[in-house]
Structure 1
Amino acid sequence: MTTDTCTGTHLNATVNGEETEQSGADAEGASFVEYGIDDRPSLSKSTVLGLQHYLTMVGANVAVPLILAEAMGMPDTVTARFVGTFFVVSGIATLVQTTLGNRYPIVQGAPFSMLAPAIAIVTTVSVTGPEPAWQVRLQALQGAIIVAGAVEVAIGYFGIVGKLRQYLSPVAIAPTIALIGLALFNVGQITSATNDWWLLGLTLLLIVAFSQFLDRRHWAFRLFPVILGLAIAWAVAAALSVGGIYPPDAPGYVDLGTVAEAPPLLPIYPLQWGMPTFQLSFAIGMFAGVVASIVESFGDYHAVARLVGSGAPSERRINHGIGTEGLMNVFSGLMGTGGSTSYSENIGAIGLTGVASRFVVQVGALAMLVVGFVGYAGQLVVTIPDPVVGGLFVVMFAQIVAVGLSNLAHVDMNSSRNVFVVGFALFVGLAIPEYVAAVGDMATFREGLAGVPVLGAVLGTQVVANTTYVIGSTGMAVGGLAAVVLDNALPGTDEERGLARWERRAESPTAFRPIWRNWFGGDADSSDADSSDADR
């Protein structure tokens, strides 16, 4: 039996072919779990499994810096180091979150939710001094992230997010998590008109075959479906590229020459781009992106708990998770990247492979640190073609959608109010971001709000307009807010909304022990649960 000391529950796990048991309260959640949160596979196996977790988010952790680099006008000679910095920050943030934060096995990395305000900042910075324009823009972005991250630290460690938990039922959580996956259906790696659908389909077919059809034939297929699928698809694309079948402009082309040309080591350190600059309007706009990332992370925490069968996360665990993400955003700003948050793709990997080991994720984080500093390794990751990443995304995002909807198992779906709330939240969570995107960039959106009769003077202000734009362009934020408002406004019993059943399965408020209590002693008893804000 695998005991998770950070949740106080027993996980149902199948380790090396032998199924373990779990308590009845958790029997719904983790029957497929191969490695529970506290399991420690061998180092060699953990290394491969950890790399697999990180490969699920390589698309985002490469796409975000490349998009920002282009928006800032960053030269190619600097971009490789910029990408490497994102890998280093991701590795350190993951180690801190899994050790000092909520201790869930969630990879941390560059958030898409903070990308919109980041682009708005770097494209509106005025450049007057002798420094390169891209560097001035990046310094302004760093300052905005540091301030927004500091506010997130306060929100987390003062317990604000955790206190909101009582207003969040499975009716609200289900569409919020589902929209994390649904909102990403149109990423370029999947829907590009010039995509290589043969290569994308091959990647998808391999991952599905290994994880769903061949998983009982050999333990390697069950544990490594993602890394096997990616490796085979990449090898095929590389062979076609070397053989001249794929020309350099083909979406599936693998440029192996760039690996040999990469610098062996990249100098990465805090304040490497210079001192950050601070502007209030930029910080407020970035905070809107942080709010969206908090909503996403809140859903991620519940998704992981649902997958491993540990019960809904306690208020204390949520607070520590969000507070730690804020600290890592401050660190991200000092290092010069685009922020840090929990990665939903990693949760899809847990659902697909059944590997929920904290140790595995930590080993993967250490490997990502190496990838960040070693130019050859980072460049090799960058050579994974978009169609291969797209095939991976189809599986990962679909898994996230299913995990979100599985929360409805607690809910009375014969209730018309529940059906309405879920359906409405899903629809507006997809429709409103499309509308915001159709309006245009942040400046155009602000001009439109300024023209609204009577309310234009308020809506058109930079603070209100920028915040509305960022939240409105984030599907899980729109759908989540709609679901929370309706779920708490419409009459419904706790049993009908799933709160009663959820509460029976939730972890104890004292189940989560801050790591310093393990270091310095002290029991997380009931009196300790209410001791101080700092311990939440």
Structure 2
Amino acid sequence: MTENTDEVAETDGGDVTREEASFVEYGIEDKPPLGESIFLGLQHYLTMVGASVAVPLILAAEMGMPAWATAQLVGTFFVVSGISTLAQTTVGNRYPIVQGGSFALLAPALAIIAATSGGWEASLLEIQGAVIAAALVQVFLGYSGLLGRATKYLSPVVIAPVIVLIGLSLVGTADVTRVNQNWWLLGLTLFLIVLFSQYLDSYSRYAKLFPVLLGIATAWIFAGAMTVLGVYTEESHMLPTDKSLGYIDFGEIANATLVQPIVPFQWGMPEFTAAFAIGMLAGIFASIVESIGDYYAVARIAGVGAPSQKRINHGIGLEGLSNIFAGIMGTGNGSTSYGENVGAIGITGVASRYVVQIGAIVMLIVGFFGPFGALITTIPSPIVGALYIAMFGQIAAVGLSNLKFVDLDASRNVFIVGIALFLGLAIPEYMANVGAAAADIEGMTTTAYFQQEVMADTPLFGSVLGTQVVSDTIYVIGSTAMAVGGLIAFFLDNTIKGTREERGLAQWDRLAEDESEFQTVFDRLRSSDDSTVAETAD
């Protein structure tokens, strides 16, 4: 177990040194007892339940999948998440980050669905092919080292707004802001998480380690009791009341298939269309930016050095392989690092890689078990909303903490951070408004891509949108807050005059891990072989 003692934060010369986070209960290399690790790992996965269930449900609804296929799709997401997380924590960047379906890939996936005829099977096979093809580029960028070399141009002035925007990206999500929100249930969940993590943590070790799990379980049981008592009821109309937002349909669990046959190419062989692959590539780029931000965030929370180029290369390369694997398994989406998991580390102080691996094994197994997936989908929206508030608020604060290395008296830094944050929030909002306008014109309820007829009339895009590929690419990147903010901050920070000390690079270099500190699986195998040879020689 990691001792809760801080290392010296400053030397006599005023240089910043690595500082171990005082709240970390279990460090990256620590291995808690197995029984405890199972619950800690489950807690990590429960924090991402909103996204891990929302993505397949959105895809299934848009494709018109039948109930049995939807349940199998959710299970497939769990299985792919479990295997991808094990791979990332073992042979990838080896950070304790959960891997799962990406919202960045959702927009191009929905565009493919809208452009494909032939039923849900045809749409899903086209999405699978697009994900696999686009992921090949991600694998090349990672393992070729090109992406890592580009990170030398990343300073805290760039990374801080990216992480902050990851934290603020779900501010407007319906799980939090819907007009008919069940604030009683959301407030109860949030109150319990705050109670366990901030007030009772010094009195109870369980409250310190399991604040999210205890908060979710208690609120979930409360919602179930209100459902049984008839306080929370199922509504049949399109806009549910606040009561229906706490309703739990126990019938979904009872009717679930006991064992789901989740195998490669379960829906058929993927189809490859160049235009779809290019559109999906925009989502891959947005996902890469988000993942790099997550790497820096988890390193900052866990109190370890900023990730080296070598670690970033292997992390992104492995995510590319995981995307290919997701395409083969047929999730209709890819795999990326989950910010919710990073936020959970900040709240619980559990940064153990071993814990995340145990959780991944649990999710891999239960993914084949239909009733478990059905049980997870019954978590009411207000409980998920409370999770978002707690988790993503924590991530935003972690992003701001990176500014401690930056000279905030330098006007260039304040300007860059401010404009990156504002445009990182404003441009995606603009994209959403354009999409809504297109939806109204087309008579649709939702849209995830530009209607070119609408965009052609806008002053900015009228002269550049010649193809659907261009419009989809602009939409995906422009709709992703961390991609917009990151690209703007990256450009300004590397073009506006500023010293390395002002930008925080000088102090960050002293904190960053050396390239030799991160050992790939091949390095570890080579070291093991050398040790064996040396022992034999002795």
Partner of 2:71, secondary structure, is helix
Offset of 1:27 from its aligned partner?
4.8
Offset of 1:492 from its aligned partner?
0.7
1:466 equivalenced with 2:452 (yes/no): no
Could you tell me how far apart the structure 1 residues matched to 2:122 and 2:20 are?
49
- Residue 113 of structure 1 aligns with an amino acid whose one-letter code is A
1:297 equivalenced with 2:288 (yes/no): no
Of 157-166 and 469-478, more deviation after overlay is shown by 157-166
Partner residue in 2 for 1:155: 141
Q: Return closer, same or farther for 1:450/1:523 CA change in 2, 3 Å cut-off.
A: farther
Q: Return closer, same or farther for 1:394/1:455 CA change in 2, 3 Å cut-off.
A: closer
1:510 equivalenced with 2:501 (yes/no): no
Could you tell me how far apart the structure 1 residues matched to 2:400 and 2:504 are?
13
Per-residue CA distance 1:242-275 (angstroms, 9 max, x = gap): 1111112301011122212211111101000001
Paired residues, what number? 504
Percent identity of the aligned residues? 59
Q: Is the 8 A contact 1:26 1:309 kept in 2?
A: no
Could you tell me how far apart the structure 1 residues matched to 2:483 and 2:92 are?
23
Q: Return closer, same or farther for 1:126/1:495 CA change in 2, 3 Å cut-off.
A: same
Partner residue in 2 for 1:475: 481
Could you tell me how far apart the structure 2 residues matched to 1:329 and 1:62 are?
17
Partner residue in 1 for 2:383: 388
Offset of 1:448 from its aligned partner?
4.7
1:108 equivalenced with 2:108 (yes/no): no
Offset of 1:486 from its aligned partner?
0.7
Partner residue in 1 for 2:316: 322
1:351 equivalenced with 2:346 (yes/no): yes
Could you tell me how far apart the structure 2 residues matched to 1:75 and 1:486 are?
48
Offset of 1:186 from its aligned partner?
1.1
Aligned-CA RMSD value: 1.7
Q: Return closer, same or farther for 1:518/1:461 CA change in 2, 3 Å cut-off.
A: same
Q: Choose which of 175, 196, 211 in structure 1 pairs with 2:197.
A: 211
1:284 equivalenced with 2:278 (yes/no): yes
- Residue 405 of structure 1 aligns with an amino acid whose one-letter code is L
Partner residue in 2 for 1:520: 526
Q: Return closer, same or farther for 1:459/1:212 CA change in 2, 3 Å cut-off.
A: same
Partner of 1:510, secondary structure, is helix
Partner of 1:78, secondary structure, is helix
Offset of 1:464 from its aligned partner?
2.3
Offset of 1:408 from its aligned partner?
0.3
Partner residue in 2 for 1:130: none
Partner residue in 1 for 2:86: 95
1:51 equivalenced with 2:42 (yes/no): yes
Alignment gaps of 5+ in structure 1: 3-12, 128-132, 525-536
Could you tell me how far apart the structure 2 residues matched to 1:454 and 1:465 are?
12
Q: Is the 8 A contact 1:264 1:375 kept in 2?
A: yes
- What does 1:450-465 correspond to in 2, within 5 Å? 450-451=456-457, 456=462, 458-465=464-471
Per-residue CA distance 1:142-200 (angstroms, 9 max, x = gap): 00000011111001101121111111100010000000111111111111122211000
Partner residue in 1 for 2:410: 415
Could you tell me how far apart the structure 2 residues matched to 1:507 and 1:60 are?
31
Q: Return closer, same or farther for 1:522/1:360 CA change in 2, 3 Å cut-off.
A: closer
Partner residue in 1 for 2:304: 310
Could you tell me how far apart the structure 1 residues matched to 2:198 and 2:322 are?
36
Could you tell me how far apart the structure 1 residues matched to 2:50 and 2:448 are?
25
Could you tell me how far apart the structure 2 residues matched to 1:499 and 1:183 are?
26
> Which runs of 4 or more aligned residues in structure 1 lie more than 6 Å from their structure 2 counterparts after TM superposition?
452-455
TM-score, structure 2 as length reference? 0.91
1:39 equivalenced with 2:43 (yes/no): no
Per-residue CA distance 1:355-405 (angstroms, 9 max, x = gap): 000000000001111221101111111111111111111100100100111
Partner of 2:202, secondary structure, is coil
Q: Return closer, same or farther for 1:369/1:290 CA change in 2, 3 Å cut-off.
A: same
Q: Return closer, same or farther for 1:350/1:137 CA change in 2, 3 Å cut-off.
A: same
Offset of 1:459 from its aligned partner?
3.3
Alignment gaps of 5+ in structure 2: 10-15, 236-243, 436-446, 531-538
Could you tell me how far apart the structure 2 residues matched to 1:445 and 1:404 are?
35
Partner residue in 1 for 2:121: 135
Partner residue in 2 for 1:532: none
Partner residue in 1 for 2:254: 260
